[in-house]
Structure formats: structure tokens, C-alpha cells
Structure 1
Amino acid sequence: MPRPTGNVRLKAARVAAGFNSQQDLADALTKAASHLGIRGLSVGVRQVRRWESDSPPWPQPDCQRVLVHLLGQSMDMLGFTPPWGSDGPKPEHIRRAMVGGGAAALGLAVVPGQAVAAPQPATAGADFEAVTRSHRRLYWSVAPTKLHPAVIAHATLGCALLPETTDSTRRTLAAALGETYLLAGRIEFFDLREPSTANDTLLLALQAAGEADDALLGSAIIAHMAFVPGWVGDRDAALERMIAARTYARRAPASAEFLAWLDAVEAECETRCGNTRTALHLISHAEDALTAGNEHASPEWMDWFSPARLAAFKGNTQMIAGHLPQARETLLGALDAMAPGEEKQRTVVYGDLAAVEATSGNPEQACKYASQALDQLAITWYATGMDRVREVRRALTPYQHERCVRDYDDRLYDWSTTVRALSR
């Protein structure tokens, strides 16, 4: 029988970099992690032995970053294959970035002995950040299918610019790149209903935030990642990510609003997992946090949360818990408190109000609220809002022969709405 050769690519890269034994590489990786600011990463010889085996496991993101940094090659060149396969059905921006090993994708790979060029002026970070800020504002009014390609193109530019910057310019650009990938991930999850792609994009966002050493941005990204398992009822995975998000938030001055939002995210995950009592307790804690406040201001990029948004979270949970009168009151209050520019969230609230009325045996009022949601969706598409509208129609099944429901069906299943609704 021929003797297994193992991961010869990693072995060759190790020896070429001057590490004659697996222990030497393990020690060097642990030391490099500390220099890169990666806290608590310790690589042992057993881990290196597994990486050099015939079936090397796909390393965790921090390990990927250190391997690429130390050995100067991308993950595929080091003999690793991602769990989804190098030719898996990934969007191009994810496939290039993730197969490249994260750090290389963000321009962080450094060949030993090779200096990093930095031809970009000190203004590059602020200039890149200005476009990121514009995309953030455009999210609330531009159709997601139009905005998403522009955001991804901007992220690609950021990856190209990052190795050409240093010091504060590099940190500014990396933070803006993290926010750009966060926006792309939000569009993919909430607007385009592509949770798997969103999770991978958010991982790129997290790596960029790490390069900027921006703990609060990292917390926001991880909390968004909790939505992915939370919405499919995987409570353990969602709560694990929320623990990580709260840990990162403790490392930075977090505003009361930010901490309340973390409670709201966890509450939504608990609601999706059927734990409405726990969710309502978390929302109550968030309300107390907002009332008490603290001395810290929220970051500029946190434009997705407000007391009205928290009320919308609460009303949805109350509805699912069967507290219909309370849900109606809460949702109407949230609707009244919403500011101009919150149209996407308004569609969700209209949908929840419609569901409350359908469950309460008021089909005519349910159809009225659902039609208002459709009015807004015709102006600003939002997949999450459309999901609510579809849930309402299922709740109206007992009344489907009534005139108001038939009229609503005519509206729901016009040509444009039908194509969008049935493509999800």
C-alpha cells in the first residue's frame, strides 16, 4: 500500500518558510496571532498535524488569517478546501474571497521579507468612508437589487486599497470596508433572502472589523450573524453568536441604544425559536436600558434601531405569544412613532397589524393593513415585509371567500407582485 502523503502543500510552505517541524510552525503561529492582535489564539502541534493530514479540516477564520500572514500563500495554495467546495455555488464575490482565505481576500497576506506598498495618500481612508456613508443612506430608498452590486463593487475596491495603506488611514479604510460588507450582508439577508450568502459576507465584514480593531463594529456584525440561525430555529447557534456579540460590546464604549439593540436581536431569535416569554423579558430589559441611558453615543453607522423599532420587535413577539390586544396597541404605537425614512420597517408593522386582525377574526381590517403594506412595497421592496404579507394571506384562509379577501388577492397577485412573491 502506498504511504499517505498528507497535505504536501502546507508541508512545503512550512519548510520553505524556515519551520522545520510542526512544533516550530505551531509556536510561530501562536506568536504571530499575538502580534496581529488576535487575543487568546493558541495553536498546538496536534492542530498542525491535522492540517498536514490527508484530509485537513477547514481552519477557523483567525487561524486562516495567521496562516496566510505567516506563510504568504492563500488557503487553497496551502492545500485547504472550504466546506462548500472550491467550485460550490457561491456568488463570485464570496467565492473569490472565501476560497482566498479571508485575510488574503482583504489584502492582508504578506509574503515574509516583502514590504507592503503604501502609495495611497492619507485621504484615501476618508474618501472611501464617504462612499460607504452614502451607500448607508441610500439603503433606505434604493431598490436592493440596484444597490447591492454597487456596494459589492465598493467592497472590492476596498480590498484592493487596503494593502496600499498604513496606520490610521488603514484603520479608517478597514472600518469602512467592514461597514460596507455589513451593509451587503444586511441586503442579502433582509432584502434578498439569501441567508447563506449573507453569513459568508458578514464573515468578511468581521475580518475587516478585526483589521480595524473596531470591537463595536465587530459586535454589530456578529449580532447580525445571529439572525441567520435564529430565523430557522437553531437556538444554540444563535445564542452562541449573541454571547460573542455581547463580549465584543464589552470591549468598547457601547451606548444604551446599542445594548438595547442586542437585547432586541436576541429577543427576535428567541421568538423565532418559540421562546416568547424569554423574548419579552429581553425586550423589557432593552426598554429599561433605553430609559436609563448612559454617557456613550451610538456609532454613526447604527441607523437601523430606535425606540419605535424596539416597539415593532415587541409587537411581533406579543402577537406570536397570542397577546393580541397588547400587540395591536404596541404596533399602532410603533407605527405612529416611526420617522420618515423608515418605510421598510413600516411594511413589517403593517403586516404584523394585519396578522393581529386576521387572528382576531377581523378579515376586513386585516386586508386593509395588508394592502397598506403592499402600497409601501410597491415603492420600496423589502423581502422581510413581503414575508409578513404572505403570512397574513395564510392566516386569512378561513375567510378566503369573502369579498375583502378576494379583492386583496387581486391586489396581491398582480403580475409584478406575483413574480416577486413566488420567487422567494
Structure 2
Amino acid sequence: MRTTLFYRGEELIPPEEAQRVTQSSGNTRLKAARQHAGYASQQAFANALTQAAPRIGLGAMEVSVRQIRRWESPAPPWPRADHQRLLVHALQMPIEQLGFTAPWQNSEPAASQAPSNAQPAPSAVPAGLPLPQPTAAVQPPTIGADYTTITVAHRRLYWSVQPAHLHPTVAEHTRLGLHLLAETTGVARRLLATALAESLLLAGRIEFFDLRQPDEADATYVRALQAAGEANDPLLGAAILAHAAFIPGWAQHRDEAAERLRAARTYARRGPASAEFVAWIDAVEAECDTRCGHPKDALRAIAHAEDILTTGSEHRSPEWFTWFSPVRLAAFKGNTQLKAGRYAQAHDTLTAALEALPADEGKQRSVILGDLAAVEVARKHPDEACAHAQAALDQLGITWYATGMERIREVRQGLQPWADTECVRQLDDRLYGWQTTLSALRR
């Protein structure tokens, strides 16, 4: 009989302990959905369910923390009918996607083994992400590292490959990872779940920032949080929750964004997080506050982030944390100064950020150029605004970024008082040329 070996770093551990490591995180699907909905603690969730009961016609009833703890255990009991109504109401997800198994399904084949003729769309992230429990170590112990290698390659490709081309590949990679989870146990499964969570985070980033599909991104972040919970990786969980805060923040739902950021900070403390990681969460808060019309609060958050970067910490950022730097913080700051009406400061900050930006960060370059153009519109300098907008369009022709194009469209709206000038007409010719228009419609 073959014995499967597992490793924790260089240390050999028995299969029994590896199985305990796999099962220790409990019902991660319910936990992830709870946290994504903004309930950072079991007590907060219990209070919310108790308060919601009368509003949906269930009368006065109390849901205890003990009950939440049972639902988030490795073997959660099937909730009774009124509890199901509460859970679905609070989390806006079907009960079947919250980690519960109906008693009448116990005798049916596992979902990971059930044949299905219905195939998801090639570009779609797996819906619901029912994380399969391991059945046997069919895959070799190297499967987690092998899957991670592809995830790392996607991480690098994001900065140069067209998002419409990369997203289907990343989505298919997440689908593969989901299938492999059912065939992997122990440490290999944990490595696989970590890489799957990163892949789902990347898919959500593309959906939100590059393709402007916030609803799809929101659902993808829930699945990413489920995978991070399976991996028991608090820093990945913090990164996912902070990214999820952008969605209500950009929709000007400030309280919901703040709740997700509080959850992100809680996870970051468990990491522990590096100074750069903590500063990035401050930067996310600043952008959400700016979008919600509170630029002064945003500037305070940015000042706090700058202090953190100056102080530093002994902790290092994870390898997948590639989307933030002091230059990017300066770009956040310049945009906030612009929205606060501090145009001279915004011009200086954004100009310095553009000069310091590495050559391979084309997506961020288009955003900074768009903000510089907006500064010149505010200062009533249409020629300079058009020059920055034209440079941004040059960059977007190389690396498409929906967020950057949004900046240019906002600039063009601001240029309407100078619509009859030659520079604005040239910008219109470029902005509404055949190729640009068709590309925008396709994307």
C-alpha cells in the first residue's frame, strides 16, 4: 500500500496531521460570505440576523454567537427554515452556496464527481465556487507548487497583456484549481488554495479595473475570500477585502466601503502586514473617501500612509503584492488633491509621480496623465489638458485600461467650453476615431 507523504516547509508530517490542517478552517464559504457582507465578527453577524428577523416577518427571535459558531464549524448542521430565510436575506446568496449540505443530499455523489453537460462560459469565473473537500491524494505532492507557477506567470502578464485576452485564461486557471482541490490533501492542498485565491483576486481586479464589471468583480472577490479561508492566509484575505471595498466606494456607498476596510485591517493585523501593505489599505480608504466626496478625510488617510512608509516595519510584503509603491501613493495623493481643488499641489504631485513611475507601469501612466489633464482643465489651460490627454491615449493604445479611459472621458467633458478650439477637435478626432470607438465598444 502506498503512503502519501506531506511536508510543512522542510518538515515531514504524518497524513493524519495534514488532514487536520485541511479541515481546521471550518465552513469557510459561510465565513467568507459573512465577512464580505461586512460582518467582521460572529457577534456582529448574530446581532444583524436577530435585528433582521422582525423586518422579514419572522417575529422576535434571537440568533446567538454559539449558533453562528456551529454554522461555521467543519460539519455545519442544516439550518432550519427560518434561519435559512435569515441567512439568505443577510448575505444575498443561496443557502446551497454557504457551505451547508441538505440531509437528503448525503447519499448523492459528491459535487466534484457528479457529471455535468452544462459547461460555464469560457471567460467566466466558476460560479458559486463550492470548494470541494478532498477525497484522496490523487495528485502528487508537487501539484500546489506547479499550479502556483502558472499563477505567478499570470501575475506578471497582467501588466502587459490585453485584459480581454488575459481574463479568459485566468478564469480557466481558477476552474482548474477548483477541480484539483478535490484531488489534493494536506500541505499541497493549502498551497493550491493559496494560489487559487490569488488567481481569483487577479480575475476580480481585471473585471473591476480593466473591464469595468463591478458586479462580476464583487462575486469573484467572494470566491477569492473563500479560497483564502481554505488556505488560512490572512494577508490574502485582507487584500481581497480591501479590493472589495473599491466597489461600494466607487458607487459612493461610503459606510459599506468602510466596513470592508475595517475587516481588511483586522486580517492585516493577523498577517502580520508590512508597512507597504498597511499604507496601501490607507490609500484604498483615501480613494473611497475621495469618490464619496470627502477629500479632506482622504488627505488625512494619505498622510497616515506616508508616515507609515517613513517609519517602515520589520515585516516584508508577500510576493503577490505588486500593485502598490510610494509612487502609486503619490498618484493617489495627486488625484485627491485634484478633487479637493488644490490644483497647484496636484500638478506638482502628479508630475513628480509621472517622472518617478517605472517604464513598465503603463496602466498607471494613463491614469496619472488623465489626472494631469484634469488639473489643466480646472486651471483653464485647454492646450496643456489636450496634450496630456493625447499622451494618455498613446499609452492606452499600448496597454488598455478602462480606468484610464474613464479619466480621459471625464477630461473631455470638462473641455466642452473649448469644443471649437483646434486642440479639442484634434482630441475628438483621436478619441472618436474608427479604431478607438470600435475598441471601446468591444471592451
- Could you tell me the TM-score, scaled by structure 1's length? 0.80
- State whether structure 2 residue 303 is matched by structure 1 residue 303: no
Bigger shift: residues 211-220 or 58-67 = 58-67
Structure 1 vs Structure 2 CA RMSD: 2.9
Aligned position for 1:125 = 144
Q: CA deviation at 1:337?
A: 1.1
The alpha-carbon distance between structure 1 residues 55 and 213, as it changes in their structure 2 partners (threshold 3 A), is closer
CA distance in 1: counterparts of 2:86 and 2:404, whole angstroms: 47
State how 1:25-104 maps to structure 2 within 5 Å.
30-31=69-70, 33-35=72-74, 48-51=80-83, 57=89, 67-68=99-100, 73=105, 97-98=127-128, 102=129, 104=130
Aligned mate of 2:276, from 242, 245, 257: 257
Percent of paired sites with the same residue: 54
State how 1:58-207 maps to structure 2 within 5 Å.
67-68=99-100, 73=105, 97-98=127-128, 102=129, 104=130, 106-108=131-133, 116-207=135-226
1:55-78 residue CA offsets vs partner (Å, 9 max, x unmatched): 96475779867743685959xx9x
Which protein has greater RCO, CA pairs closer than 8 Å, 6+ apart? Answer: 2
Aligned position for 2:38 = none
Secondary structure in structure 1 of the residue aligned to 2:424: helix
The alpha-carbon distance between structure 1 residues 50 and 381, as it changes in their structure 2 partners (threshold 3 A), is same
CA distance in 2: counterparts of 1:243 and 1:27, whole angstroms: 23
Aligned position for 2:414 = 395
Is the 1:29–1:66 contact (alpha carbons within 8 Å) kept by the matching residues of 2? no
Unaligned runs of 5+ in 2: 1-64, 110-119
- Could you tell me the TM-score, scaled by structure 2's length? 0.77
Is the 1:354–1:370 contact (alpha carbons within 8 Å) kept by the matching residues of 2? yes
Q: Which amino acid aligns with 1:200?
A: A
The alpha-carbon distance between structure 1 residues 276 and 59, as it changes in their structure 2 partners (threshold 3 A), is closer
Is the 2:126–2:175 contact (alpha carbons within 8 Å) kept by the matching residues of 1? no
Q: CA deviation at 1:160?
A: 0.2
CA distance in 2: counterparts of 1:195 and 1:66, whole angstroms: 22
Is the 1:177–1:205 contact (alpha carbons within 8 Å) kept by the matching residues of 2? yes
Is the 2:122–2:172 contact (alpha carbons within 8 Å) kept by the matching residues of 1? no
Aligned position for 2:7 = none
The alpha-carbon distance between structure 1 residues 180 and 393, as it changes in their structure 2 partners (threshold 3 A), is same
Is the 1:119–1:165 contact (alpha carbons within 8 Å) kept by the matching residues of 2? yes
Count the aligned residue pairs: 367
Is the 1:348–1:385 contact (alpha carbons within 8 Å) kept by the matching residues of 2? yes
Is the 2:125–2:171 contact (alpha carbons within 8 Å) kept by the matching residues of 1? no
Q: Which amino acid aligns with 2:256?
A: A
- State whether structure 2 residue 376 is matched by structure 1 residue 357: yes
The alpha-carbon distance between structure 1 residues 211 and 349, as it changes in their structure 2 partners (threshold 3 A), is same
Is the 1:124–1:169 contact (alpha carbons within 8 Å) kept by the matching residues of 2? yes
Q: Which amino acid aligns with 1:148?
A: H
1:15-36 residue CA offsets vs partner (Å, 9 max, x unmatched): xxxxxxxxxxx98984463448
1:139-164 residue CA offsets vs partner (Å, 9 max, x unmatched): 00000010000000000000000111
Unaligned runs of 5+ in 1: 1-25, 37-41, 78-89, 109-114
